[in-house]
Amino acid sequence: MPPLLQHDAEGETILRGAPPVRIEPDGAVLERYIASPAKVKLIQGPVGSGKSTASWHALMANAFAVQRPWKGKRFRRTLVVRNTLKQIKDTVLPTKRLVMPEKTWGATLISGRPRHHIRMPGVDWEILFYGLDDPDSALEDLKSLEISDAYVSEARYVDRQIIVALVERVGRYPPVAWGGCTQPQVLGDTNPPEMGSWLSVISGQAPMPEGLSREDRMSMVKPADWEFHLQPSAVIEERDEAGEVTGYVPNPEAENLRFLPAGYYADKIGGRTKAEIDTELGNKPGAKRAGKAVWPQFRVELHGKRDLEPVRGHEILVGVDFGRTPAAAIGQCVFGQWRVLREIVTESMGAREFGRALKRSLAQWFPAWDYAVWGDPAGENMEQSDDVSPFLAMRAEGIRIIPAPGNNDWVVRRDAVGEVLQQLLDGRPRFLIDQGACPVLTAAMGGQYAYPRIQGSQDRYADRPLKNRFSHVADACQYLILGGGEGRALFQKAGTPGVGGLPREAPRRQVVVAAGRGRGWGGLLRGR
């Protein structure tokens, strides 16, 4: 197929066969994205990087790349989706009007679901706009559509199932009897997604979460015909001699600078937190707070590290939360410093299956290591579908788990972690977390584990955090910290039994035996 973009005599990039339109992507990533014929292509970049304009240029290139006109016309039907209809009208349509002026391309009808039917000599191009306000209903609507291609605006807000459904629907118009569809494609643009989300994993920016079922893991493996185009950061970090970030300056290699006002990125640095700068300007996956953070003491630039290694001579400690989505936080306390090394996050998994997953993970990560496990005290009593408590189910798998101290007092659990976060030991933080190995817990501590805002209030929040996919591993971290000996003063203040430290009955000398050694999987864990 001939290239979608060509160059005129003056070297300008033009759209072959279209009305007079100049395609001037200011950056190599933008140009590769527009020209890519991949079945699915997504571009991610900082604010102001030209992503949305490039997406419209890519749609125009697709429309005028039709190789087999039927009765002298190129037929095309494009679907444009965004998370809400309001966002379609407020953000998507204004960008479209800038790229495709109504004087040349005609007007978009905005009553109901917006649509634009472009009729030009040799061209019949329908553009449909869907807001995904009700994702379940929208998913059903998509299953009946016959379209040529689709554009997903701000893909970080769109469920994976929607993207997959779009892949199934593109290429169905025009019908084969009319010559078939040229360049069936799903394309999209986005600012950085949340760390640990499906988009951050499938694009290779976050590791595969532990504890997922085989089916869920398969859904996060990038297909061969999907492409992710990552633009350069808009800013560069400035660091001191100790390697700490002290400030930011605009990146001269950022894209789309030619079309931005002077000082655009320099003006956006001030008044932002490091997390906000890293995400919106640095093009790094981050965490958007779901409300008021439970642990405002957490600072990713202070507490977050990469590639933390276990320290010999210090046992592995594990905190476990139960329920329908069990989770584990795994770490060590090394001379008073907490080091969270790994997490296990699951969905729809029973305690026995989770116990097996925990055994496998411990054997893989920490072979021949002493360990101790504490869990949600409610796990002694709550029943699974087989009428067995989670504690009994895990013990049946060889994991000698005991209840975390503190009688499950949530305030004590919260404050025990909060105190560790705000303390220094010999000038070093008492709490470190491996960001790469623990993306969900890092996001939870960065603000996703939060008190939800009370509806109708500007500054009033609930007194308990929101239950979401981040809260379970956050609870597991609390059991880890309490089981490892923190919270003595808090126990005494609350009049709670189990004063700090490791309970006498804690199974302190369990050993993880590597797979293929000792007694194999059946004898993976043994006491000593």
DSSP state of 170: B
**Average per-residue pLDDT in the chain?**
85
| 190/133 Cα distance (integer angstroms) | 18
| 501/353 Cα distance (integer angstroms) | 30
- The domains spanning 5-230 and 293-527 adopt the same CATH topology: no
Distances (CA, A) of 410 to 127, 388, 391, 433, 479: 52, 25, 20, 22, 10
Nearest to 99 by CA among 173, 151, 136, 146: 151
Question: Could you count the other beta carbons within 10 Å of the beta carbon of residue 228?
Answer: 18
Distance of CA 70 to the CA centre of its chain: 43
pLDDT in tens, 234-284: 999 998 876 778 899 999 999 999 999 999 999 999 988 888 899 999 999
pLDDT for the residue 11 = 46
Mean pLDDT of 20-37: 87
Q: Is pLDDT larger for residue 458 or for residue 216?
A: 216
Q: Is pLDDT larger for residue 528 or for residue 221?
A: 221
pLDDT for the residue 321 = 95
Range with the lowest mean pLDDT among 211-215, 290-294, 363-367? 211-215
pLDDT for the residue 473 = 96
In this structure, CATH architecture of domain 5-230: 3-Layer(aba) Sandwich (3.40)
pLDDT for the residue 406 = 77
Distances (CA, A) of 2 to 24, 62, 185: 19, 12, 17
Please give the structure tokens belonging to residue 353.
Answer: 């299956």
Distance of CA 93 to the CA centre of its chain: 27
pLDDT higher than threshold 70 for residue 463: yes
pLDDT for the residue 501 = 41
Mean pLDDT of 130-151: 90
pLDDT higher than threshold 90 for residue 112: no
pLDDT in tens, 247-257: 999 999 999 99
pLDDT for the residue 513 = 43
pLDDT for the residue 493 = 57
Q: Which of 102-116, 479-493, 513-527 has the highest mean pLDDT?
A: 102-116
* pTM score, whole prediction: 0.67
pLDDT in tens, 373-424: 999 988 776 655 556 788 998 998 889 899 998 778 889 999 999 999 999 9
pLDDT for the residue 311 = 95
Three-state SS at 465: coil
Please give the structure tokens belonging to residue 444.
Answer: 């939870």
Residues with Cβ < 8 Å from 377, sequence gap 6 or more?
Answer: 403, 404, 406, 407, 408
pLDDT higher than threshold 50 for residue 523: no
Domain spans in the chain, listed from the N-terminal domain onward: 5-230, 293-527
Phi, psi of 165 (to 5 degrees): -65, -40
pLDDT for the residue 24 = 81
The fold adopted by the segment(s) 293-527 is Nucleotidyltransferase; domain 5 (3.30.420)
